[in-house]
Structure 1
Amino acid sequence: MTSRRHFLQKITASGLALPFLPSLKAEAEHLHTFNGEPYQGPVLRVAIMGLGSYGTRVAEAMRDCKMAKLTGVISGTPSKVKDWQSKYGIPEKNCYNYENFDNIKNNPDIDAVYVITPNGLHKDQVIRVAKAGKHAICEKPMAINAAEGQEMVDACKKANVKLLVGYRMHFEPKTLEIIRMRKAGEFGKVLFFQGLSGFTIGDPRQWRLNKKLAGGGAMMDIGIYSINGARYMVGEEPVWVTAQETKTNPEKFKEGVDETIQFQLGFPSGAVASCLSTYTMNNLDRFFLNGEKGFAEMQPSTGYGPIKGRTHAGELTHPHVTHQTVQMDEMAGIILQGKQPVVPVDGEEGLKDLKIIDAIFLAVKSGKKVDLKL
């Protein structure tokens, strides 16, 4: 039987180009329940593309959403589609595969598609979603390099649809509290950030260790958290990067698939960041921010939760919320109501992280400091 990876590679190469059709708006009023209370208002109707473990996590979290509802699925595995139909009450007319999902253009039950597939497939799939006139939510990293990311941004602008990226931490309460404190000057002048992101990866045959599908290794999967975290914790855009790679297992981590990269970022104010991205060490999920007047520490900092944090003022005690539930409700607000999040989650935000990743890989290869213009 052809593996899912080979199937995805095969069908992605044959994406269909369709003329742009205007996006269908969500229902003006839709009755939905949230924590037992009726919610009457606009609801974003979402199809999930890619029914793997994270797609399942998002689907489960959306059961508690008030402004977003799972209404469709896109998958290359018919058995998964049947399971999801039964579990989430999805009608047959809202089920698609990777070859025919362009037909969502004719389906008023779907307003947006959440693309949760291997990184190397994001560009073509998001562009097809945009051409079908639907809003696109894309899991991070948005693409495998900045050039692809720019194509996605341009395609969504041309189609007049939103492109959002799955930055769930941008809505996490403890994270937002630290950002509030930093903006209020409670840390004083920010001097230093440290981001540690890593775990020991298993099966060497998985797509995350396939250069074509992943676009790299640990940096594309876990290191991006430290890149993005450095930006929203410091509150500036970096202007230079240096980086060094360590590879202890070239059989598992082949050419173009990074195992461990240490990288440093410099910011206009003089603040610096020192970060680690790895696929060979566990217990690495920590952010630390230091300023002239105080500090903030988060550990775990980006896991599914509960996030734990403290500052010079004491422990952060905000209750844990399911990240994906909040993310999808907030993204519905962005799409349906034009809400502006504290930290952006749009395609331009995703593009900035991709530019930094490109620069990190260049710094590793050249051994030199690479200037950034974001």
Structure 2
Amino acid sequence: MQTRRDFLQKMTGSVLALSALSSTAVAACADPERKNDSPVLRVAIMGLGSYGTRVAEAMKTCTKAKLVGVISGTPAKIKAWQTKYNIPEKNCYNYENFDRIKDNPDIDAVYVITPNGLHHNQVIRVAMAKKHVICEKPMAVNAKEGQEMVDACRNAGVKLLVGYRMHFEPHTLEIIRMRKAGEFGKVLFFQGLSGFIIGDPSQWRLNRALSGGGSMMDIGIYSINGSRYMIGEDPIWVTAQEPPKTNPMKFKEGVDETIQFQLGFPGGAVASCLSTYSLNNLDRFFLDGTQGFAELMPSTGYGPIAGRTHKGVLDQPVTTHQTVQMDEMSGILLEGHQPIVAVDGLEAVKDLKIIDAIYQATKSGQKVELHL
């Protein structure tokens, strides 16, 4: 029989347990960074243009990464970002003084989102300041500069990652899973179509000194990188053709408008790809094997990504790419996580070697052997 004393003891225990649980919940709510037990990557964004803004907005919903600093050559942008993202004055720098981040313990990494031609110098300076680096793609304007960036980060003891957001995208990862499981049979063919009609002729993407080229250095790299992660191999040769430019005034010497290129892979697969600044509606990947196929369309846009395979429509969750990317990169930089598809500097150098070879092939008209 339950006595009054037994009842009171049980009630006292329940109240104490509830009190402890409530205290834990209140503490978690008071500290939004305690959404999980993982450390939070504190990031400064360098380059406050349209894509930098997209990343900043996406980071609002990150659980493992936080925007804490800015680097810009435009004082008005710095002030606006300070207000919008609650960034302290001590975490704000310009392109002349950002080396001082070495003495700022509140910044773990810098995300370099500036024109391609500036990456080399800026990444090396960040590395010398002993901060981890995330760099937008293409990482550099050629493989030589890319390797120098990799070496600088290694020598400084910091990590170098590249903004390959598609390496974390659910539809893409499902196709990679299926390919690894042998569900397509022997993969024999990949097609990558990457292009859009570029606008303002005065923008930096059409300035060779800043971009390093034309469409290939902007949108074509998606098909290059996509062929590698979709097929699951690195190519061993490339051929390429550049048709006459439709607007030589807009697409000046060294700024490619359209390039078609083909890649050969050691397992026997071939890839046929198109990179252009003169056609819209080109955002499609197609993978074909002896037992099935996969298609992504759109394949690399900001979303939503959509796809299907011989088994039906892909129904993976739609995500904000940059949110997932930054949370996953936090795990890589701070916890040593290994991504399904590499996103480090050496991965980027491989893409740059392919780009170098594509440009070489367009000039020579010959097949170029690749050694990645």
Query: Is TM-score (shorter-chain normalized) higher than 0.5?
Result: yes
Question: Is residue 229 of structure 2 the alignment partner of residue 214 of structure 1?
Answer: no
Matches within 5 A, 1:235-314: 235-246=232-243, 247-314=245-312
Question: Is residue 338 of structure 2 the alignment partner of residue 340 of structure 1?
Answer: yes
Q: Is the 8 A contact 1:123 1:149 kept in 2?
A: yes
Aligned-residue offset at 1:33: 3.1
Q: Which residue of 2 aligns with 1:96?
A: 93
Question: Is residue 145 of structure 2 the alignment partner of residue 138 of structure 1?
Answer: no
Structure 1 runs, 4 residues or longer, greater than 2 Å off: 31-34, 37-41
Question: Is residue 82 of structure 2 the alignment partner of residue 81 of structure 1?
Answer: no
Aligned-residue offset at 1:319: 1.6
Q: CA separation in 2, counterparts of 1:124 and 1:363? A: 28
State percent identity of aligned pairs.
Answer: 78
2:368 is aligned with what amino acid? V
Q: CA separation in 2, counterparts of 1:33 and 1:197? A: 39
Q: Deviation string for 1:213-234 (max 9, x for gaps)? A: 0000000000000000000000
Q: Could you tell me which of 200, 203, 221 is aligned with 1:224? A: 221
Q: CA separation in 2, counterparts of 1:241 and 1:40? A: 46
Q: CA separation in 1, counterparts of 2:369 and 2:37? A: 50
Q: Deviation string for 1:98-155 (max 9, x for gaps)? A: 0000000000110000000000000000000000000000000000000000000000
Q: CA separation in 1, counterparts of 2:69 and 2:234? A: 37
Q: CA separation in 1, counterparts of 2:31 and 2:115? A: 32
Question: Is residue 151 of structure 2 the alignment partner of residue 173 of structure 1?
Answer: no
Aligned-residue offset at 1:38: 2.9
2:116 is aligned with what amino acid? N
TM-score (ref. length: structure 1): 0.91
Q: Which residue of 2 aligns with 1:122?
A: 119
1:293 is aligned with what amino acid? Q
1:351 is aligned with what amino acid? V
Question: CA RMSD for the aligned pairs?
Answer: 1.3
Q: Could you tell me which of 61, 64, 67 is aligned with 1:67? A: 64
Q: Is the 8 A contact 1:216 1:258 kept in 2?
A: yes
Gaps of 5+ in 2: 1-27
**SS in structure 1 opposite 2:341?**
coil
Alpha carbons of 1:281 and 1:32: their partners in 2 closer, same or farther (altered >3 Å)? farther
Q: CA separation in 1, counterparts of 2:216 and 2:31? A: 39
Q: Which residue of 2 aligns with 1:33?
A: 32
Q: Is the 8 A contact 1:299 1:308 kept in 2?
A: yes
Question: Is residue 348 of structure 2 the alignment partner of residue 360 of structure 1?
Answer: no
Q: Could you tell me which of 185, 188, 193 is aligned with 2:185? A: 188
2:284 is aligned with what amino acid? R
Q: Is the 8 A contact 1:33 1:39 kept in 2?
A: no
Q: CA separation in 1, counterparts of 2:106 and 2:99? A: 14
Q: Deviation string for 1:235-269 (max 9, x for gaps)? A: 00000000000222111000000000000000001
**SS in structure 2 opposite 1:264?**
strand
Q: CA separation in 2, counterparts of 1:269 and 1:333? A: 33
**SS in structure 2 opposite 1:41?**
coil
Q: CA separation in 1, counterparts of 2:137 and 2:155? A: 22
Q: CA separation in 2, counterparts of 1:268 and 1:151? A: 28
**SS in structure 2 opposite 1:277?**
strand
Q: CA separation in 2, counterparts of 1:38 and 1:106? A: 29
Q: Is the 8 A contact 1:32 1:66 kept in 2?
A: no
Q: CA separation in 2, counterparts of 1:271 and 1:319? A: 30
2:117 is aligned with what amino acid? G
Q: CA separation in 2, counterparts of 1:32 and 1:283? A: 45
Which structure: larger Rg? 2
TM-score (ref. length: structure 2): 0.91
Q: CA separation in 2, counterparts of 1:88 and 1:269? A: 49
Q: CA separation in 2, counterparts of 1:267 and 1:32? A: 50
Aligned-residue offset at 1:32: 5.5
Q: CA separation in 1, counterparts of 2:291 and 2:358? A: 31
Aligned-residue offset at 1:41: 3.3
Structure with a larger share of its residues in helix = 2
